[in-house]
Structure 1
């Protein structure tokens, strides 16, 4: 899954590089081959859609390139444009119109129509090349008609028709490349859904739909298709409407997956609103197609109005959601905010250049903003999947630990029941046997018999100690709980074990502050630590050092026991505390079991760290009194 996300991000970054290089090359070629003669002055005459094919005789307004266009009268739905062509030109010449806002375009020279474009849809951005023939100075008239009232024209380049047409096509090629790349990424993501778990499918599917709809929008809203395949313009416009319908709900499905339904379920409300809008829009679109655009104006007005309301409301909720979660320092919200912020900044930069250039400007940078925004969504979804995977791994580890603890608890419970049932009964005959062996030892004459008796008594004492450990484990509850000063307790422990450590050739260092106090039973506390410190002394195997430190950490008292003995492997550490497991030749493992039980009853925690040949560290913590 991580590999899929890496490839997706790599493809998106490749898109940024391609789209940043392509416009530069394309526009450079356009300027080089098509700017032989640039028309810098033309004339306008506002009209209405009832104008005939004859241009008006007077009332023309002169417009110069890079100047602000004149404000047309309200309700203007048509406009005439008059352009004086150069005095001489070849028979294969043409005039590139870089941008014209109109549904219908007609061009005339000497009353004869030389170009015509009639659209049955509301996409009104035109980019075209008018073919020109003739060796004399001529006047070209262009008649623009647009029922929506959005009408205008700018950017005229005169030159060879073939070169102009080729460069017109190349200008819009980055949009096609970018859109196709988005569709390709969405297709890969749809394919990869078969490898996802059900919990991740919803977010992945909605993100795939977002990328797919944006790719379709970039392609279907580009003038390239309407210029080259004009006869399919209605299909392209319909596809644009459907892409917008998919984008809006998909975005809020994704937001709900990442951030939840939001306060007062606002995200879910907008999602349902978007779903209702897409249903209504699709039905209206079907009716419009069936009636041959008879109700297109009504459909366009209703869907545009409802969409604008949804965009405004959804945009406010979206921004508010990002702000709220970003202030909470949620990383997903910060990542999406950065991507969305870059998109907004680049879009604002485009608008600034648009108005600075008197609207004679091609919007470019907002597309890079879309790439950044999509990239932030991909990263966010990737984080969600990775975090979910880490939760599963953590849960698995916790489950394994729980199972180990359960097994250990079952073993201890079994031993506890066994100890409670037989310990007392076994200890009594042992004591009687020991007493008679002592009498026999006193009456023995030969040293050999005495040695046998001493050996037997020692073994009985060892058996008695094991029985004592059984009883301690079987009844771990504390009696006579008092306030314990850790330093005082370790003074008694040290007085008993320092001579033992010295006898073994090691050193025992105590560094316990006087102010550390806990609640517990003094004898049980000493028993637990004597067991652990004796283990450390026996692990020294001669010269070595055992350091015992105490300190307070938050609301707990921590005792650290560190030795430089033989150490243990990870597998040995994992078995510590299990019954009948011991690193000693004659050990039973019951000593550490008793120690664990005492520490557990005193609400303490114990952690072992060890390396073979280096030594062992033990951290025991108790609630501070």
Structure 2
């Protein structure tokens, strides 16, 4: 899944770069570069309401009726007596072979444009979306002529909101197309990301499908919102305006509760469950709005007042939602939730932008045009993609860890079964073999007493080998029956003093040193003889692995109710593959080793409720860490 996350982030980055261009500012740069001419002043006149379909006759030329207006004043609000507006301005003198007229924002449901009583542009929409972008080719002979625009609206805004630009056709056309299509590209990119993630969901486990699909739905809603909010569709494919508006409403009413749900499932339910409660309120409210919307679509029921009321309610809910989710993202981030920390930065940018824009929108009484929210939304989507990638990575790591644990448990199970079989076999064989060996040893001792010097040497060698066989049998019996009998309280320091006395000659013979740093008062429950046998085996192996300037360090301490004993040497060390086979019978790195010593050691420590771990590096050394329950801790239990 790594390639998916990486490609998604690339797409998001491209979207950010594309969204960072403001079409208006970019157009102004083109205007300067191509010496275009701006018209910032025009006259307007309120006419009589007439929808057949748009007025086709000019108002009377009365100086008292026409009022001058500047582009900085923005659009106008229709008067109570009329919702029809006339605008006139004169084209400047220009020396262009292919002139064009460009108006970035015109708020109206229907528009007619005339030059010398000839209509050159007509638009009458059957839906409520009233933002228009006008681009018209002109003729060189149109220079200096008067342009008349008639328009009407069913909303509380009407007129031209930006400067009128006259310039060369080709440069303005390119910028016109780029400026209008950029939202479509960004929205399609988000929808594409959502579809890719839907395809990738096939490869996910059931535990991850829920979060993944919920994020997909949110992304898909975001893409549809960006696409259907763009003027491009309404300008070029206005006949489907009703469909765009319905899709916008549906996407918005899915996105808002969906966003809350995604936050709830990934971060938390909030203080006192406030996020979950708010999501339920959203779902109830938007379910009611869906019902009204579909009644209007299929039964043609008028719900205009409810719709206007709903717009104010939705704006209020968005602000409340932004505040709740942003504060909780910061709250969980401060508490140490890494997922919340990742999402907090993107979501904070998004909510700050949304709260600021909607607040300014209401303060300006709807005159402000929302557009920065897309940048905040891109940042938010990026943070969610990063969060999903992190979750997938963590889950992948968990799967690997679980696989390793499963492999380890299987190995332990196989080892346990193998040890049980060997234990039963060892017990039966040892008893059957020990008696003949003792009889044989007795007769060899008698022969040794009666033999000559040369024969005694051979008989002594035979006796030594019998003793070695007896030791092996003893190890088998210890392995077969490792139960700790006569368990007493052992002082770890005292036991290691005895062990040191036993092994010090061997260490000196190997030119090695043994350092013991064990405080007094470390007590465990066990059998002193078995304890010594186990640690003599381990320390003896360390001594035999030493080279020049060999050193064995032994130290111990108490940790969380356990006595921890470390044995560290700087011997030849072992490979990882060797460590895996430690404790198995007949596995040994020694020339004459049987592997039974460590096998017995494992069984003794296990019988004393202890644990043992080995870490080693070839030609560096080996460390053995043994843990036993503290006698004081067991007494407390």
Same fold, TM exceeding 0.5? yes
Deviation at 1:334, TM superposition (A): 1.6
Task: Identify which range, 256-265 or 610-619, moves more after superposition.
Answer: 256-265
* Alignment partner, residue 186 of structure 1: 194
Task: Identify which range, 129-138 or 156-165, moves more after superposition.
Answer: 129-138
* Alignment partner, residue 343 of structure 1: 350
**Matched-pair contact (CA < 8 Å) for 1:493–1:530:** yes
Residues 1:496 and 1:460: Cα distance change in structure 2 (over 3 Å): same
1:80 to 82, 85, 89: 85
Unpaired segments ≥5 residues, structure 2: 633-637
Q: Secondary structure at the match of 2:227?
A: helix
Q: Following the alignment from structure 2 to structure 1, what is the Cα–Cα distance between the partners of residues 484 and 410? A: 27
Q: Secondary structure at the match of 2:572?
A: coil
Deviation at 1:403, TM superposition (A): 0.9
* Alignment partner, residue 438 of structure 1: 445
Q: Following the alignment from structure 2 to structure 1, what is the Cα–Cα distance between the partners of residues 194 and 390? A: 19
Q: Following the alignment from structure 1 to structure 2, what is the Cα–Cα distance between the partners of residues 156 and 307? A: 32
| Residue 141 of structure 2 is aligned to residue 120 of structure 1 | no
2:156 to 139, 142, 149: 149
Q: How does 1:108-507 map to 2 (within 5 A)?
A: 115-129=121-135, 142-151=149-158, 153-160=160-167, 162=169, 167-248=175-256, 250-252=258-260, 254-255=262-263, 257-259=265-267, 288-290=296-298, 295=302, 297=304, 300=307, 304=311, 311=318, 315=322, 318-319=325-326, 321-347=328-354, 364-421=371-428, 423-424=430-431, 426-442=433-449, 444-507=450-513
Q: Following the alignment from structure 2 to structure 1, what is the Cα–Cα distance between the partners of residues 241 and 32? A: 30
Deviation at 1:498, TM superposition (A): 0.6
Task: Identify which range, 131-140 or 31-40, moves more after superposition.
Answer: 131-140
Unpaired segments ≥5 residues, structure 1: none
Q: Following the alignment from structure 2 to structure 1, what is the Cα–Cα distance between the partners of residues 401 and 591? A: 37
Residues 1:218 and 1:466: Cα distance change in structure 2 (over 3 Å): same
Task: Identify which range, 231-240 or 421-430, moves more after superposition.
Answer: 421-430
2:590 to 578, 584, 593: 584
Residues 1:94 and 1:351: Cα distance change in structure 2 (over 3 Å): farther
* Alignment partner, residue 7 of structure 1: 7
Q: Secondary structure at the match of 1:509?
A: strand
**Matched-pair contact (CA < 8 Å) for 2:517–2:554:** yes
Residues 1:431 and 1:536: Cα distance change in structure 2 (over 3 Å): same
Q: Following the alignment from structure 2 to structure 1, what is the Cα–Cα distance between the partners of residues 175 and 593? A: 90
Q: Secondary structure at the match of 2:123?
A: strand
Task: Identify which range, 11-20 or 493-502, moves more after superposition.
Answer: 11-20
| Residue 616 of structure 2 is aligned to residue 610 of structure 1 | yes
Q: How does 1:589-600 map to 2 (within 5 A)?
A: 589-600=595-606
RMSD (CA atoms): 4.1
Q: Following the alignment from structure 2 to structure 1, what is the Cα–Cα distance between the partners of residues 496 and 258? A: 67
Q: Following the alignment from structure 2 to structure 1, what is the Cα–Cα distance between the partners of residues 585 and 106? A: 88
Residues 1:301 and 1:192: Cα distance change in structure 2 (over 3 Å): same
* Alignment partner, residue 20 of structure 2: 20
Task: Identify which range, 575-584 or 19-28, moves more after superposition.
Answer: 19-28
Deviation at 1:369, TM superposition (A): 1.9
Residues 1:135 and 1:149: Cα distance change in structure 2 (over 3 Å): closer
Q: Following the alignment from structure 2 to structure 1, what is the Cα–Cα distance between the partners of residues 328 and 597? A: 58
Q: Following the alignment from structure 2 to structure 1, what is the Cα–Cα distance between the partners of residues 417 and 182? A: 69
Task: Identify which range, 54-63 or 353-362, moves more after superposition.
Answer: 353-362
**Matched-pair contact (CA < 8 Å) for 1:29–1:167:** no
Q: Following the alignment from structure 2 to structure 1, what is the Cα–Cα distance between the partners of residues 24 and 521? A: 74
Residues 1:149 and 1:470: Cα distance change in structure 2 (over 3 Å): same
Once the two structures are superposed, residues 106-125 of structure 1 have per-residue CA deviations (whole angstroms, 9 ceiling, x without a partner) of 45678776544322212122
**Matched-pair contact (CA < 8 Å) for 1:288–1:299:** no
Residues 1:66 and 1:357: Cα distance change in structure 2 (over 3 Å): farther
Task: Identify which range, 242-251 or 136-145, moves more after superposition.
Answer: 136-145
Q: Secondary structure at the match of 2:111?
A: strand
Task: Identify which range, 400-409 or 328-337, moves more after superposition.
Answer: 328-337
Deviation at 1:340, TM superposition (A): 1.1
Task: Identify which range, 350-359 or 212-221, moves more after superposition.
Answer: 350-359
Q: Following the alignment from structure 2 to structure 1, what is the Cα–Cα distance between the partners of residues 367 and 350? A: 22
Q: Following the alignment from structure 1 to structure 2, what is the Cα–Cα distance between the partners of residues 479 and 613? A: 39
**Matched-pair contact (CA < 8 Å) for 1:34–1:158:** no
Q: Following the alignment from structure 1 to structure 2, what is the Cα–Cα distance between the partners of residues 301 and 62? A: 31
Q: Secondary structure at the match of 1:558?
A: strand
**Matched-pair contact (CA < 8 Å) for 2:106–2:160:** yes
Deviation at 1:332, TM superposition (A): 1.6
Q: Secondary structure at the match of 2:162?
A: strand
Q: Secondary structure at the match of 2:161?
A: strand
Q: Following the alignment from structure 2 to structure 1, what is the Cα–Cα distance between the partners of residues 523 and 251? A: 70
Deviation at 1:321, TM superposition (A): 4.7
Deviation at 1:405, TM superposition (A): 1.1
**Matched-pair contact (CA < 8 Å) for 1:512–1:551:** yes
Q: Following the alignment from structure 1 to structure 2, what is the Cα–Cα distance between the partners of residues 519 and 587? A: 31
Residues 1:346 and 1:260: Cα distance change in structure 2 (over 3 Å): closer
Length, aligned pairs only: 622
**Matched-pair contact (CA < 8 Å) for 1:9–1:375:** yes
Deviation at 1:477, TM superposition (A): 3.4
* Alignment partner, residue 575 of structure 2: 569
Once the two structures are superposed, residues 112-152 of structure 1 have per-residue CA deviations (whole angstroms, 9 ceiling, x without a partner) of 76544322212122222467788697765544433333445
Residues 1:356 and 1:171: Cα distance change in structure 2 (over 3 Å): farther
**Matched-pair contact (CA < 8 Å) for 1:69–1:358:** no
TM-score (norm 2): 0.83
